[in-house]
Chain A
């Protein structure tokens, strides 16, 4: 019996060594073959002549098209007069690169170089099976090109912005590099990491589509104005799509106290809950539900868009009188504004109003609306709305939402569904 188990152990150790040896070999071969197709992308500040961001890029055709992440070249896209792009090839030579097209929502960019590569990557046509071995290539922290083995784990579930789950270690600087299958075909573009071997890739379909679009744009000297206009259109389409999905999805309700609030808002919003009931000496109960879109769209610096957050707070007290509780209500209505990231050059100030209204359930409420406009992207707004149900002096519901980078029509459409979803039971 003892001898058998020992045999098994030995056999498995032998098998493992063969497999891992094969893996090493494969990675080595892949890296050796594709190294000339990998470059380091730099965004150079024209004033200081220093790099302001770095990332990895790769050639996808012999005609000189390079792929990287949008966030690697964001500064050059948004301020072309301040930043220029260059790349360092396999032979440590520096060359210029020009922007052709970007997909801001999926964090992709296509650049063009007059240098023709000897080796280039080909784009995979279909996703590998879950559990398949893949290799991520890139230049982490400016340390030189490396290869990282990982496992393909399918598309991230319950997420509005599609990403591939990669079990493997991506690090800053590898952004924009390719992840390839064992056959050497690109199956995704390195984009971000959540630590502990949990990394994300842009799915290959997104790149295939953008690349096809980019080939249509024959003129390489693409004007920045039109690139900004294309980004504006991408943001507009994206927000139209996510608000429509939020609006058309079924919201399931549940009862909290005397009010009914949404429990789930379709499949793209993730909801979390909490309450203060375990706190000592509290004079009132607050039960909170917060729902949000898991990620957002990076534009540049601290300017992000494309997110949605919703919050419901049911507040009730038997101990406080009406005037005292009104203070609690007021503080909740005031403190409730979500923080939305944008710089002073990106947006206008908020324009706000507050007034008493009645929704279609005939519930009287106070509403506070605050709206600011994007400066660079016409007709896109950040919208905040918070409301508090009146009519009961012992309890209330504070409900609010913040939508990033939406059009007026979409904001109004969402507003109508939202206010009618709030009601006393």
Chain B
């Protein structure tokens, strides 16, 4: 007879398998067995699989110390009939008994994402990504400095940024290790750099829009929407790179996390409706070559401020009415 013995984890994931032939097939810790299990709770000559004349399979317990249990943890008899696909526990090890005709899982198509993430898992892509990241951060620090330029400090800032990105990547890699997923460290690094650069790019675009048209409610809504999408992308990517969850599970997990964060944001922004004594506005100024908006006339500017007067008056009246209650 020819059998396949799979070594499986508690949740039935195949870790290793062995194919062997003979009758009986011996299982134990000693090296003269057909199937050797490296577990100190398994006896040297623990068990045998035996096929009788009619072709029936039996698992024989050779008076072992810890015996043999089925998948549910129930002790089995010393001569137990076996069906193909049955799972038993010897010592701490789970095994599944199959024959060569047992069906295997259907072939998975290599996913585009999977092949892409493999393709970019090279040190030279990461080197380019870090270089771009360093250049962008250094330039941003340079353009934001209004005191005397000290280049060594600006470069130091850039290196801090790189260190942070590498640290986050290692953290994701560590999770991948914990969740038994293949660690693609360079892919992770590229992904983190991509996310950070996207945030910076969108902030820059936001600054140009605010400079031109002010902080409008449409802009604020768009800003929130984009931030949430970026958060979704980051979480999705992190789950994908650090766990072996299915795509559907990843999507559900990351979307619910984003919704949770949104919920917290909404709760924390609930207004106590107290009067704020300082203006809540933070105007943006950029050089004139970022100016695309058509300047308003003085009259239309005044018209817009007229609505501020009536809004303020309405608020004052509302507060008066509320305090009289």
Contacts and interface: CB of A to CB of B under 8 A. Distances in A.
Q: A and B: real partners?
A: yes
Interface of A: 281, 283-284, 320-331, 333-334, 337, 339, 342, 344-345, 347-360, 364-375, 378-379, 381, 384, 388, 390-393, 408, 411-412, 415-416, 419-420
Given A375-B320, A393-B287, A416-B298, A356 B282 contact: no
Nearest to B143: A323
Given A350-B279, A359-B298, A419-B298, A324 B143 contact: yes
Interface string B134-154: 000000001111111000000
B309 A355 contact: no
Interface string B202-220: 0000000001111100000
Contact of A337 (B142, B212, B215, B279): B279
B147 A373 contact: no
A322 B148 CA distance: 15
Interface of B: 142-148, 211-215, 274-289, 291, 293-298, 300-302, 304-306, 308-309, 311-313, 315-316, 319-320, 323
Contact of B309 (A342, A358, A408, A419): A408
14 contacts: A324-B145, A327-B143, A327-B146, A339-B278, A342-B277, A345-B323, A354-B281, A355-B301, A355-B304, A357-B295, A357-B301, A369-B304, A369-B305, A369-B308
Interface SS majority for chain A: mixed
A349 B296 contact: no
Contacts of B144: 324, 327
A370 B147 contact: no
Nearest to B294: A356
Given A347-B275, A355-B304, A390 B291 contact: yes
A134 B279 CA distance: 47
A348 B273 CA distance: 10
Given A353-B304, A356-B295, A283 B147 contact: yes
A174 B286 CA distance: 55
Contact of A381 (B211, B302, B312): B312
Contacts of A342: 277
Contacts of A378: 313
Contact of A333 (B285, B287, B312): B285
A330 B284 contact: yes
Nearest to A327: B146
B311 A364 contact: no
A416 B274 CA distance: 33
B287 A348 contact: no
Contacts of B281: 350, 352-354, 368, 370
A372 to B, nearest CB: 5
B313 A379 contact: yes
Given A333-B283, A371-B308, A388-B285, A355 B296 contact: yes
A381 B286 CA distance: 31
A326 B211 CA distance: 11
Contacts of A364: 288, 291, 295
Contacts of A352: 279-281, 308
A415 B278 contact: no
A104 B144 CA distance: 49
Contacts of A333: 283, 285
Given A334-B282, A345-B275, 17 more contacts: A281-B148, A325-B287, A350-B278, A350-B279, A352-B308, A354-B281, A354-B283, A355-B301, A356-B296, A365-B295, A369-B304, A373-B315, A375-B316, A375-B319, A384-B279, A390-B288, A416-B302
B308 A357 contact: no
B146 A355 contact: no
A348 B312 contact: yes
Given A322-B287, A334-B283, A367 B301 contact: yes
Contact of A351 (B148, B278, B285, B312): B312
Contacts of B309: 371, 373, 381, 408, 411
Contacts of A283: 146-148
Given A334-B282, A349-B276, A364-B295, A393 B288 contact: yes
A354 B302 contact: no
A320 B300 CA distance: 34
Contacts of B214: 353-355
Nearest to B215: A354
Nearest to B287: A322
Contacts of B145: 324
B316 A373 contact: yes
Contacts of A353: 214, 281, 304-305, 308
A320 B312 contact: no
Contact of B276 (A322, A337, A350, A354): A350
A393 to B, nearest CB: 5
Of the candidates A333, A356, A370, A379, the one having the most CB atoms from chain B within 10 angstroms of its own CB is A356
A412 B299 CA distance: 10
A42 to B, nearest CB: 28
A356 B291 contact: yes
A61 B283 CA distance: 59
A330 B297 CA distance: 22
Of the candidates B146, B280, B315, the one having the most CB atoms from chain A within 10 angstroms of its own CB is B146
A384 B305 CA distance: 11
Nearest to B144: A327
A138 B286 CA distance: 59
B146 A351 contact: no
A364 B279 CA distance: 24
Contacts of B142: 324
Contact of A344 (B275, B286, B308): B275
A367 B213 CA distance: 11
B301 A326 contact: no
A117 to B, nearest CB: 40
A379 to B, nearest CB: 7
Nearest first, the 9 closest Cβ-Cβ pairs linking A and B are A322-B287, A358-B295, A373-B312, A330-B285, A373-B316, A348-B315, A352-B281, A370-B279, A323-B143
A174 B197 CA distance: 67
B24 to A, nearest CB: 81
Contacts of B212: 356
B287 A323 contact: yes
A354 B207 CA distance: 13
A344 B274 contact: yes
A360 B295 CA distance: 12
